Amino acid sequence: MRTLDLDLRIEELARQYAAAKKQIETHPLYLRHLAGETIVDVEGYSNFETLVCSSEEGVVASLKAYDIPVQLPISKGGLRMMASTAASIRARASSTVLENITGNLKDAYKLSIAGTLLHVDEVMTERRNNEELRVLGFYTADGILYFIKDGKVKLAITREPDNLVLRHIDDAFAQLTAGGNYQADQAEAERAIKASATEIFDLNERELKRYNDEFSYLEILTTRYDKLSHEMRRLAERVYGKGNDFILNMVMLKEAGIDSTKLYVLNPEYVQKHAKDSPIGRASWLYDFFNSSYFYANDRNIDGSGRVRGVRKKTDNDQFSAQKSDSSSDFLRREVAEALPQQSHERSDLSDAFKNEVPCTPSEIIG
């Protein structure tokens, strides 16, 4: 027989479920889906999925903790169905029409439909079944903000709807290519940092290795990632996929002969100096397998030729604009190593590939 406390808890959960269900069912994106609209420009899809999944996880966790049978009015299935709906909207927006859209970050982004660009974890996961993506590097949809809170340096990684560099691409492009940092508006940055899909990381970790006065990096061994601290494991999973996807993506890298990969960030000292007045933004870049699938959460050379992966905008005659050939292979980049980690993404004269900008010594890359 249930105790009074448990009965009250069940009533509380029922109210929680009803409130979450109402919030989801009245969400504009969900209403558009119910109306039969074909959704491609999925503005805010990430926040919607986060809303659905967080609601589901909260209810399911409470059900499990109290050993409450599924038959009770607090239905896991309803929220799970909505989570599946949100995911299917996202998949419908991107599947079959995803392209590698080439250009510098500003040009490629302007050719793309907002809300369809892939984030780094999504590119990594797609690489498991699409080997063509392994030989290409990508600008990704992840927003990068560095800020100081209570004297500690923090990194916020957002989803596309809260990516301030993409939101203000013209201004950000000018600032990043001229001075190296995008000086974000304080109030707007705070909203992006507090967004439900944004993840925040403490950069005052001993595992971060100093590269130079501007950059540090986290090295991730593809078979010994269990050695990472909790905070750095969170960061690694935000980039290379969460949970089982992270494990499978590490297996993919290992099977490709990559024993370790690196995740580059700004030095805490650099952030203390440049973000003392307001948060600073950078762009994000994921390397090809030749460059060990390194990820840059510190990219400022966004004027170089690259690509994003997303849905291309339609032209005035309602046809998708022709995709430029992207048969290039970043695997051909051999101008490695002696320069600093932020050479431009320029193409070489010999191929469509980028000049290598990986921050390493020649011995680290075999070619």
Looking at the structure, do residues 64 and 109 belong to the same domain, yes or no?
no
**Both tokens assigned to 92:** 């419908």
β-pairing, 98-103 vs 295-299, is: unpaired
> Closest Cα to residue 9, out of 72, 64, 62, 57?
62
Q: What is the DSSP string of 317-361?
A: TSSBPPPPP----GGG----SSS-TT---PBPSSSSSBPP---S-
Same domain, 18 and 154: no
Domain end residue (candidates: 94, 125, 153): 94
Nearest to 297 by CA among 308, 282, 309: 282
Pairing of strands 280-286, 182-183: antiparallel
Q: How many domains does the chain contain in total?
A: 2
Amino acid in position 315 = T
pLDDT at position 313, please? Answer: 85
pTM of the model: 0.68
Indicate if 158 and 9 belong to the same structural domain: no
Are 233 and 126 in a shared domain?
A: yes
- Please answer whether residues 354 and 301 qualify as being in contact, where contact means their C-beta atoms are separated by less than 8 angstroms: no
Q: What share of the chain is helix, strand, coil (3-state, %, to 5)?
A: 40, 20, 40
State the DSSP H helix or E strand holding residue 108, giving kind and residue range, or none if neither. Answer: helix 105-110
Q: Specify whether 228 is located in the same domain as 90.
A: no
Measured between alpha carbons, how far is 140 from 160 in angstroms, rounded to an integer? 9
Residues 59 and 18 in one domain: yes
Domain assignment of residue 271, given as a range: 98-364
Residues 109 and 216 in one domain: yes
The whole-number pLDDT of residue 107 equals: 97
Query: Are residues 199 and 71 part of one domain?
Result: no
Cα separations in angstroms, 92 against 115, 141, 341:
12, 18, 37
Radius of gyration of the chain (CA): 22
pLDDT at 349: 29
| Full pLDDT tens readout for the chain, 367 residues | 344 554 555 566 556 656 666 666 666 666 665 665 554 444 455 555 555 555 545 544 444 443 433 333 334 444 444 444 444 444 444 444 789 999 999 999 999 988 889 999 999 999 999 999 999 999 999 999 999 999 999 999 999 999 999 999 999 999 999 999 999 999 999 999 999 899 999 998 889 999 999 999 999 999 999 999 999 999 999 999 999 899 999 999 999 999 999 999 999 999 999 999 999 999 999 999 999 999 999 999 999 889 999 988 876 544 444 444 564 444 333 232 233 354 444 333 223 333 334 443 222 332 2
